[in-house]
Amino acid sequence: MNIKPFLTEAELPFCKGCGHSSVAQNTEKALQKMNLDPLDVILVTDIGCHGIIDKNFLSHTVHGLHGRAVALAGGVAAGVNNSDKKIITFIGDGGATIGMQHLIGAAHMGFNITVVIHNNMLYGMTGGQPSEFTPCGFKTPTLPEGSAKAGYDICEIIASAGASYVQRVAGVGDYSDSLVNAFSAKGFSLVEVMEICPSYGVKSNPGMKLSKVIEDSGLAVKVFVDGRDKEYVTPIDSSPKSLISDKFNVDVKYSHNLSKPVSIMMSGSAGEGVQSAAEFLAKAAMTAGLHATKKGSYPVTVGVGFSASEVIISPEPILYTGSPVPDVLIITSVDGLNYAKAAAARMKGGLLLVDESLDVPQTGAKVVKFPFRERVGARNSAFYSIFWYLNNNNPFPIEALKDIFMNNKISEKVKIETMLQF
């Protein structure tokens, strides 16, 4: 067997006695035990002291942002989509704090990655500030009185998030077998390595022993999950259908009577067919050789309140799609009335078609009242109103709208005759 090195011969970049060195060495040992090729391994490192290790690794390396390495590695795993490749993420307790959601998310997804948390219980690179992993009583240079709260039990969190393998180890001696177990797991695995930062941790807590800190913190050094084998496979649709299709084409069958654009605003209530009716109107206009645009306005809660739609039909191509002052305003409900009052007030001419049950808003338009709701019920009032409009104003033949209506499944529920009683 030809065992390949995973680390260059250069000295490791950490302070003397730093636990990060032992993670690097144990990682190499584990990968060698698995007889992997360095170019089948992708190491994704976070920002922090531990993250500067990438230059020592002979595997592929990806180095990103503080706290985001797990999300980045998830993307790498989804992109590579090959469980023969080992994707390993190095992150600190600091990175795991700011990027906690990514850890939970990656475990939940089951991405094929192993996360090794270098938990030295503080932010090393920035000078020894406490993280959310700092145990109760543990002191740091910026927290000389010691942390008042316990640190996260990340293993419990990640176990419950659905990881395949989770283990906490004390970062002394040889723990390469634990790493082998994690690297061999299918899907998401995590090893939390408890470490000491000699430069800040030891200085702030003189005489401290790692084993004592772990014991006092109540964090169990054990395997939390093994053999769940939940693995994410990236979906790849090899022949998705084009979004361009003749079925969206509207054939021209009729001619029209317009010499200039007409903007029609329909304003009613959600659930009363306003958007569909507006779309029917626009498409019908297209079958008469007109250009058309349609846009909707509604509150974010699409199921209640007003529902309004602006349609422009034009013999010439439409550039500007706005219509601050409609030529025709059709109001079919109280919600619609409240919403369209301002537009009605802006009208200096044109037609305001309003349901008979409603108050007539202030407007300069010619007002026509009609009992749309009473005749066909609230749900169909918007459809009915556009049939009425075409019948009385004839911008293009009403047959065009009948066609659109009959070709839609609404015609199975609503008889076209009800729409044509004027």
Partner 1 sequence: MQTTKSVKPKAFIDGSRLITEACVLAGADVFVGYPITPANSLYLYATKRFPTMLAAPDEITTLQWMTGFATAGRVPVTATSFPGYALMVESINMAFMQELPMVIILVQRLGPATGTATCGAQGDLSVVNGTLSGGFTLPTFCISNLDDCWSLSAKAVETAVKLRTPVVLLTSKEMVMTLLSYDWSNLPEIKPTKMTEFKGEGQYFPYKAGDNLIPDFLPVTQTKHQVRVTASTHDTKGILQNVLPEAIENTKRLQKKQDKHLSEFTFFDLDEQAGAEALILSYDITAQAAREAAVKIRETGKKVSVLIAKTLLPIPMEYIEIANRYKRVVVAEENLTGQLRQMLFGVAGRKGVTGVNAIAKMISPNEIVEEVLRNEY
The 8-class DSSP code of residue 12 comes to P
Binding of residue 12 to ligand TPP (CB under 6 A)? no
Query: Applying CB under 8 A, which of residues 25, 142, 297, 393 lies at the interface with partner 1?
Result: 297
Q: List residues bridging with 44 in a β-sheet.
A: 62, 89
Query: Applying CB under 6 A, which of residues 26, 199, 205, 263 lies at the interface with ligand SF4?
Result: 199
Q: For ligand SF4, give the closer residue by CB, 118 or 373.
A: 118
d(CA 83, CA 80): 8
Q: Collapsing DSSP states into helix, strand and coil, what is residue 393?
A: helix
**Residue 241: partners with Cβ closer than 8 Å, 6 or more residues away:** none
Q: How far is the CB of 203 from ligand TPP (least distance, A)?
A: 14
Q: Which does 256 bind (CB under 5 to 8 A by kind): ligand TPP, ligand SF4, partner 1, none?
A: partner 1
* φ, ψ of residue 238 in degrees (nearest 5): -80, -15
Q: Collapsing DSSP states into helix, strand and coil, what is residue 43?
A: strand
Say which amino acid occupies 367. Answer: V
Which of these segments, 13-21, 311-319, 386-394, 395-403, binds ligand SF4 (CB under 6 A)?
Answer: 13-21
Give how many residues touch partner 1 by CB under 8 A. Answer: 80
Q: Which does 55 bind (CB under 5 to 8 A by kind): partner 1, ligand SF4, ligand TPP, none?
A: partner 1
Q: Which does 18 bind (CB under 5 to 8 A by kind): ligand TPP, partner 1, ligand SF4, none?
A: ligand SF4
Which run of H or E residues covers position 262? strand 262-269
Q: How far is the CB of 95 from ligand SF4 (least distance, A)?
A: 12
Which of these segments, 69-77, 170-178, 220-228, 265-273, binds partner 1 (CB under 8 A)?
Answer: 69-77
Burial of 402 (0-12, 13-18, 19+ CB in 10 A): middle
Binding of residue 125 to ligand TPP (CB under 6 A)? yes
Give how many residues touch ligand SF4 by CB under 6 A. Answer: 11
d(CA 328, CA 340): 12
Which run of H or E residues covers position 87? strand 86-92
Q: For ligand TPP, give the closer residue by CB, 124 or 336.
A: 124
DSSP 294-342: EEEE--SSTTSSEEEEEEEEESS-------SS-SEEEE-SHHHHHHHHH
Q: How far is the CB of 9 from partner 1 (least distance, A)?
A: 15
Strands 189-194 and 165-170: parallel
d(CA 415, CA 275): 19
Binding of residue 14 to ligand SF4 (CB under 6 A)? yes
Q: How far is the CB of 18 from ligand TPP (least distance, A)?
A: 8
**Residue 260: partners with Cβ closer than 8 Å, 6 or more residues away:** 314, 315
Q: For partner 1, give the closer residue by CB, 122 or 400.
A: 400
Query: Which tokens belong to 368?
Result: 């026509």
Contact 292, 285 (CB under 8 A): yes
The 8-class DSSP code of residue 15 comes to P
- Per CB under 6 A, which of residues 298..327 are in contact with ligand TPP? none
**Residue 305: partners with Cβ closer than 8 Å, 6 or more residues away:** 269, 270, 298, 299, 335
Q: For ligand TPP, give the closer residue by CB, 49 or 331.
A: 49
Query: Which tokens belong to 120?
Result: 């030295």
Strands 262-269 and 189-194: unpaired
Q: How far is the CB of 226 from ligand SF4 (least distance, A)?
A: 29
Which of these segments, 10-18, 32-40, 230-238, 341-349, binds ligand SF4 (CB under 6 A)?
Answer: 10-18
Q: How far is the CB of 322 from partner 1 (least distance, A)?
A: 4
Binding of residue 49 to ligand TPP (CB under 6 A)? yes
Query: Applying CB under 6 A, which of residues 124, 171, 273, 350 lies at the interface with ligand SF4?
Result: 124
Which run of H or E residues covers position 28? helix 19-33
Q: How far is the CB of 55 from ligand TPP (least distance, A)?
A: 15
Query: Applying CB under 6 A, which of residues 7, 26, 36, 50 lies at the interface with ligand TPP?
Result: 50
- Per CB under 6 A, which of residues 62..101 are in contact with ligand TPP? 66, 92-95
Contact residues for ligand SF4, defined by CB under 6 A:
14-15, 18, 20, 49, 120, 124, 197-200
Contact residues for ligand TPP, defined by CB under 6 A:
47-50, 66, 92-95, 118, 120, 123-126, 131
